[in-house]
Amino acid sequence: MMYAMLTVSLFLGLGMLGSLVSSSPSRYSSPKHHHEALNKHDKLLYGDCHEVRKVGGYNVSGVYTLHINKTSSFQVHCEHTADNSFTVIQRRMSGAVTFIRQWSEYVAGFGSVQDSYWAGLSQILYLTSTGNNVLTINMQTWDGEAQNVRYSFFRLQDPNTFTLNIGGFSGSVPDDLFYNNNMPFATYDRPDPNSCATQQSAGWWYNYCSYALPNGVYYTGGSYTPTGGFYNGIYWKDWRGYGYSLKFLSMSLSQM
């Protein structure tokens, strides 16, 4: 059982880097929704950033419009490296965009592609159903230390629950998302049985509750004191702990 409580006694119950660096997106991505896309005038419809590069010939990182079908589109940041292309589905780089959002917003997506955003559960479900099953998470602290982790299998199931399936971890910090495997997504207005989404102020695949919280509250400066009784920053428990909120974090999908 796991609460991200403030008491020290509950701390332990809470809450391939070398091969990844050359093929992972950069920590910071300069320029989601409502910004001019680099493929704005392109007649071809791309399903992910891999197609943007392979079919469209684009190799410049930036905002692109992707399509689920001919009538449904969404914007993301595509990160193109020398040997791969990544579709950024989540990014935290300032406190300008709050992630304390309702279920419907997490399903549809929110934020700004120029800054911080969530691509949307429906869009992520689509991407993972079309071969984008490698998840890379890039993180950076306020003193400049960076870590990358990768999951060779990441997929969402069921458009009613968006249940998480994840595995195949590699990285230089411990795997703090294993605890969320097979859990449905939850928000404060559609909470999990243990009310973690309510207590931690973020939509996520809560268990009881979570060892990592990429969608947490953006606290500046690193160490923080949560406003409630639960740690709710952007934390990775086995790196800097529950009480340290990261400066930057992004989640990106790519193909094998």
The structural domains of the chain, ordered by start, are 8-254 (3.90.215.10)
Residue recorded with tokens 């992520």: 124
Residue 241: CB atoms within 10 Å: 15
Residue 12: CB atoms within 10 Å: 9
Distance CA 249, CA 137 (A): 7
Look at residue 15 in the predicted model and tell me its pLDDT.
37
Look at residue 32 in the predicted model and tell me its pLDDT.
40
Look at residue 26 in the predicted model and tell me its pLDDT.
38
Look at residue 28 in the predicted model and tell me its pLDDT.
34
Distance CA 241, CA 11 (A): 9
Q: Strand pairing of 85-92 and 117-118?
A: antiparallel
- Fill in the amino acid letter for 200: Q
Nearest Cα residue to 211 out of 237, 182, 230: 237
Which whole-number Å values give the CA distances from 23 to 30, 31, 163, in the listed order?
A: 18, 20, 28
Look at residue 73 in the predicted model and tell me its pLDDT.
92
Distance CA 218, CA 208 (A): 21
Look at residue 70 in the predicted model and tell me its pLDDT.
85
Q: How deeply is 170 buried, as exposed, middle or buried, from its count of CB atoms within 10 A (0-12, 13-18, 19+)?
A: middle
Tens of pLDDT along 168-192? 999 999 999 999 999 999 999 999 9
- Fill in the amino acid letter for 188: Y
Distance CA 171, CA 220 (A): 25
Tens of pLDDT along 41-65? 999 999 999 999 999 999 999 999 9
Look at residue 203 in the predicted model and tell me its pLDDT.
98
Helix-strand-coil split of the chain, %, nearest 5: 15, 30, 55
Average pLDDT across the chain, whole number: 88
List the structure tokens of 222: 């690193």
CA quadruple 204, 207, 212, 213: dihedral sign: positive
Look at residue 228 in the predicted model and tell me its pLDDT.
83
Strand partners, 223: 244
List the structure tokens of 253: 């999908």
Residue 160: CB atoms within 10 Å: 7
Look at residue 36 in the predicted model and tell me its pLDDT.
84
CA angle 111, 236, 13 (to 5 degrees): 125
Of the CA atoms within 13 Å of residue 3, those in its CB half-sphere come to: 14
Which parts of the chain sit beneath pLDDT 50? 1-33
